[in-house]
Every structure is written in C-alpha cells, then in structure tokens.
Amino acid sequence: MNTGSIPATKTVTFMMKENLRAEAGIEPPPVVTGPVTKETQIIAIYGKGGIGKSFTLANLSYMMAQQGKKVLLIGCDPKSDTTSLLFGGRACPTIIETSSKKKLAGEAVAIGDVCFKRDGVYAMELGGPEVGRGCGGRGIIHGFELLEKLGFHEWGFDYVLLDFLGDVVCGGFGLPIARDMCQKVIVVASNDLQSLYVANNVCSAVEYFRKLGGNVGVAGMVINRDDGTGEAAAFAKQVGIPVLSTIPANDDIRRKSASYEIIGRPESDWGPMFAELANNVGASQPMRPNPMTQDQLLGLFASDVVGRNVVLEPATEFDMCGKTQLRKETLEVVYDEV
C-alpha cells in the first residue's frame, strides 16, 4: 500500500473547491454605455423572495395582454414559480433543464420547447441548478445566453417582464442592471423592514451602475399586501420613486391567488386596479434613486418594532474563553530610532 498517495475523495474535494474559486473570480462584462434604442420595454421586477412578485407579474402581464399588448414574461428565479399562477399551477419546462436534455440528445433547443402562451401572454422560465449543484447566478447568465441564441433581441414584444430575486446579490441576478439589458427597474415591497431593505439594495445597485455609466433607472414601486401602516410609501418618497400601485392585504386576493386564479381580468373586481398598474408601468420613467442608509431605513419604523434602541455591547475575552488570559510582556527588543 502506498501511504504517500492522496485519497481520491480529497482530490475530488480539492478540485471542486478550485473550480468554485475560479467561477467566483469571473468578473462580469463591462457595463454597456450606449443609448437605449429598443422599442420594446424591457422591465426587471425585483423584490424579496415571497413578497408577491410572481402574483403581481402574472396578473399584470395578463391585464397588459387584454389591453392589446404583446407581452413576454420571463421567470428568472431558480424556484421556477413565476409562471405557475399564469398556467394554473402547472410547472413550465425550464430553459436550463430543457437545454441540458437536448444537449445530451444531440438536439438544438427550439422556441416551442421553452416558451408557452395563455390568452395572449407568452411566458418562460430560466430555471436553475438543483440545491448544492451549481450557482444560481451563473444559471441565469447561461439562460440569457441561450435566449440570445434563440433571437431574444429580434423578438417583437411591447413588453418583456423579467422576474428577479432582489435578496440575492451575486452577479447573475444583477444582470439586467449591470449590462443595461433593461430600461427600467420596478421594485415590489410591503410595509415590513426586510422587503424594504431589499428594495433599498436594488436602488443602491441601480445608482452604483449609473455612476459607472449605465442607463437603467428605477421606475417605481408596487406596494403589495398593504396593511395601511405606510412605511413602504414613506420609503418610496424618501428615495424619490413613485408608487405605481397599492395592492391591499385582502383575504379575497389571498384565496384566489392560492387557488391559481388570475384576478387581473377586465371583468374582475380587481381588474381596474391592475389596469391602472399596467398603464402606470407603461408610462413610468426610469429615475435615479436616492438610496437610504441603514439607520434611515430603520427610522421608518417604530423603535419597538425593529429594536432600534438596542445598544452594541462589545464582547470580552472572558465571554469567549471563560477566563481572562494573562498578558505577558513581549521579549522582543525594540530599539529607539536614532
């Protein structure tokens, strides 16, 4: 037995770590600085996971189609649930999964393999890797590379809506902002600190890339599950973006959404609300936001809600070790400078 050899498992682990380091070190391409020339409005919608982006976008895209617009909805969330409401709960084959299967079979991906439609709304899911088997952000980049091969820049839509997670900060999820792939960003939030924290991060990212020469701006906020406390509206006013719609915290909306029912129909009780949102989204202009500091963000809420009165107390060595180490003077000789 050769005791000096390295076990195979250690070699594989080492190679995996090196591959992850190499992947993490890939810098995104430089920001595009040219003017926006597309007639299609490409809009990236960001928000905290679970805040209601998919609900908002499914109903918004449906209403836009009923208004005679040609709309493409692209889910850019690894959970692949953006289109579930639109398709009555059915799972939509993802671009990444379909691409992998087609590649193994030696076949090319066709548009009909990944894009599906309902009542005038076209929709697709980028998808993502299984848990622990890849980087979601790199999956987004791969998905858009495939979309470009399928002719993304030649498609004739009035609106392309991109559903992105806002609480993931890796490069792939910032793709539309960093590469000027969209003209404007819309944030979805509610009257809670975490969703506004995410919205503020998105505003900070937009402002960062504007300083680098980018063209993307924030067109406004959709307040979802509004309970009337007003923190989200105060945030929008503070950062300088308009509120495009306020969707109430309503039990009828909750039940219909849970049963995969589209409420963004002209004949629905909620139709006028989504019709107004559709008009506001189309007319909204990209603006440079004024992001808030963490303390300013906390200031939107009562101190008893967010614990703003907590004082940071430094830990001691006794706290960490259960005893205080005896500090000995160094034996190093230090000579005075002449």
- Catalytic positions, written as ranges: 48, 53, 79, 167
> Average of pLDDT values for 198-215?
93
19: its two tokens:
């591959």
Whether this model's pTM surpasses 0.75: yes
Other Cβ atoms closer than 10 A to 118: 17
Distance CA 234, CA 229 (A): 10
| pLDDT recorded at residue 190 | 97
pLDDT score at 215? 93
The residue ranges of every structural domain in the chain are 38-292
Question: pLDDT for 241-291, tens place per residue?
Answer: 999 999 999 999 999 999 999 999 999 999 999 999 999 999 999 999 999
Interatomic CA distance for residues 138 and 189, integer angstroms: 26
Looking at residue 181, its pLDDT comes to 85
**Banded pLDDT at 5 (limits 50, 70, 90):** low
- Average pLDDT across the chain, whole number: 85
Question: Does the pLDDT value for residue 226 go beyond 60?
Answer: yes
For 305, residues 6+ apart whose C-beta sits below 8 A from its C-beta are 193
The CATH code for residues 38-292 is 3.40.50.300
For residue 160, list its beta bridge partners. 42, 72
